[in-house]
Structure 1
Amino acid sequence: NVRLHSLKRTLVPGSSEHEDAAVIDQEIQRLDRIVRDVLHFARPAEPRPVTITAGSLFSRVRDLLDSQLEKASIRLSLASSPPLRIRVDPQQIEQVLINLIQNAAESIGRDGTITLRARSTLMPLAGHATPVVILEVIDTGKGIPLKVQERLFDPFFTTKEAGTGLGLSIAARIVEKHGGALQYQTEVDRGTTFGIVLPRVEKNEDEVSTENFTH
């Protein structure tokens, strides 16, 4: 790939050779994504959890994606939420949020809003009512057609030309490894809400980590 980039610099922009090199470069990147996705799906990494607030995770993701979404006139909004604690691997849950936000942006296309919201409730997990935090990604997109919903979490199912069909499968497995679940609600032409359901950390269980998490 490095050699290909070096070759592209020697070619005349707009020439057929330069265009061919660009196509090859795109295909290499696509194959690289496929290999990475398959490896992540086949051998998902074990979480390295720390206790953080949902809001700090949302802020980090917004900082990463805000400028990218602005180019498509998509607003990434953080809904006001209480300081809810969760014990997660920040990088892994960040990966899930980024995947959901990018899917939401593709559904919107241009001129819309994606809202990140955290809320607390009781849900049946492991056979009994458990306090949970739900990290929600709410979009104003087209919604998910029924035929797509039926296979939404199937590995290798995709509606995208360059997709691997593993994004949501990997996301669901990551959340499951955290003792949670990935859920959604959708309405055609009204939008979709994905919820990452995670066990809530009570105030006396753990101190919130001040660790700076990076890629």
Structure 2
Amino acid sequence: FSKSFIEQIESLSKIASEFSNFAKMPDTKLEQTAILPVIEQAREVFRSAENVEIIVTNRNEISAYIQADRDQLLRTFNNLFKNAIEAIDADAECNINVLLYNDNKNAYIEIKDNGKGIPTTLHDKIFVPNFTTKTSGTGLGLAFVKQAIENAGGNITFTSVADKGTTFYLSFPLV
């Protein structure tokens, strides 16, 4: 009884914390930020996760810099990686491929996973606050991601194929 009760309290605490973090979004501190080190820092969080491989390919010869809130950017990549990992069956290998490239105006990041994919009927809902398909989810992760990217002047879109995976496409203006 007490273990279950403690787990419920921890779950509620986590939900309250996520709502609080989401509500803090206006405190955006834009600064010149190199994208690659932030991606690498997020990858490091999941390095010890079992059956998870995150491969980062940087096609740029020099670092891509954007105007962004570094903490929000880190939380963005953490959220996207975590969602990709959770979209994989427990005993399966999770492969996340991150591609970073840019042209003269924008930095582009593609984050592709080999998960279950997002059902077509949910495509227009995944960025809506409080929408979740997870029993323990708050529905704030992707809403936060979208808001953080837009705070940095960027865009996010995605494609998804059932049983093949999802690719998120991020773009940010270069500085």
Instruction: Give the TM-score normalised by structure 1.
Output: 0.73
Aligned equivalent of 1:81:
59
| Letter in structure 1 aligned against 2:83 | N
- Select the structure of larger CA radius of gyration: 1
- 1:51 maps to a residue whose letter is Q
Matches of 2:102 and 2:137, distance apart in 1:
33
Q: Match for residue 189 of structure 1? A: 163
**Residue from 58, 74, 93 that aligns with 1:111:** 93
Query: Helix, strand or coil for the counterpart of 1:34?
Result: helix
Does structure 1 conserve the Cα–Cα contact (< 8 Å) formed by 2:46 and 2:52?
A: no
Amino acid at match of 1:184: F
CA distance in 2, matches of 1:185, 1:93: 21
Tell me if 1:160 matches 2:131: no
Maintained 8 Å contact 2:153/2:173: yes
Amino acid at match of 1:196: L
- CA distance, structure 1, for counterparts of residue 166 and residue 94 of structure 2: 12
Unaligned runs of 5+ in 1: 1-19, 123-130, 202-215
117, 128, 138: which one aligns with 1:143: 117
Cα displacement (A) at 1:141: 1.2
Check whether the contact 1:54–1:135 (CA below 8 A) recurs between aligned residues: no
CA shift, 1:140, in A, is: 1.1
The question of 1:100 aligning with 2:74 is answered: no
- Among candidates 168, 172, 175, match of residue 146 of structure 2: 172
Q: Secondary structure at the match of 1:44?
A: coil
Residue pair 1:49, 1:88 contacting (<8 A) in 2 also: yes
Partner of 1:210: none
**Cα distance in 2 between the residues matched to 1:42 and 1:52:** 23
Q: Does 1:67 align with 2:48?
A: yes
Q: Secondary structure at the match of 2:48?
A: helix
> Identity rate of aligned residues, in percent?
27
The Cα of 1:150 is off from its aligned counterpart by: 2.7
Counterpart AA for 2:77 = L
Q: Is the 8 A contact 2:58 2:101 kept in 1?
A: no
Alpha-carbon distance in structure 2 between the residues aligned to 1:81 and 1:47 = 29
Contact 2:81 2:96 in 1 (8 A): yes
Moved more, 77-86 or 100-109: 77-86
Q: In the alignment, is the contact (CA less than 8 A) between 2:119 and 2:162 conserved in 1?
A: yes
Name the SS of the counterpart of 2:46 in structure 1: helix
Counterparts of 1:58 and 1:81, CA distance in 2: 14
Among 32, 42, 52, the alignment partner of 2:13 is 32
State the superposition RMSD in angstroms.
1.7
Contact kept, 8 Å, 1:104 with 1:141, in 2: the verdict is yes
C-alpha distance after superposition, 1:36-58 (max 9, x if no partner)? 22223334142223323222112
For residue 6 of structure 1, what is the aligned residue in structure 2? Answer: none
Give, in angstroms, the shift of residue 121 of structure 1: 4.1
